[in-house]
Amino acid sequence: MRRLGDLEAEIMDRLWTWGRPATVREVVDDINKARPVAAVRPTAALMEDGLGESKDRSAALLHFVENMSEEELAALRRALRNMGRQTKQ
């Protein structure tokens, strides 16, 4: 049997602890309190799919960013800053 990945385990821990059904939004919001980058992951996957299919990658990227919430933009900025720090090391 395959072990859960880190994020999967985090999600399941919350559901087991809460002992009740929860919406995706509830889980994501709770994870974002401790792990702000988690908000970016679903958006990043959508962006990757859209960019892969676009003939104008810059326009596609701009479209995604224009439609992000303030929380998503803040999380994206943090992720980009962290990524920049990692590449400089």
pLDDT by residue (tens digit) across 11-49?
A: 889 999 999 988 888 888 888 777 655 455 565 666 677
CB contact at 8 A, 65 and 73: yes
Confidence of residue 89 (pLDDT cuts 50, 70, 90): low
Q: In sequence order, what are the residues at sequence separation of 6 or more whose Cβ sits closer than 8 angstroms to the Cβ of residue 43?
A: 64, 68, 72, 76
46 and 80 inside one domain:
yes
Handedness of CA 45, 50, 55, 60 (dihedral sign): negative
- Determine, yes or no, domain membership for 49: yes
28 and 42 inside one domain:
no
28 and 52 inside one domain:
no
Domains in the chain, number:
2
- Determine, yes or no, domain membership for 1: no
The mean pLDDT of the chain is: 77
pLDDT computed for residue 25 by the predictor: 82
30 and 43 inside one domain:
no
The CA distance from 10 to 8, in Å, is 5
- Determine, yes or no, domain membership for 66: yes
pTM over 0.75: no
Most confident of 3-7, 73-77, 81-85: 73-77
The CA distance from 7 to 15, in Å, is 13
24 and 53 inside one domain:
no
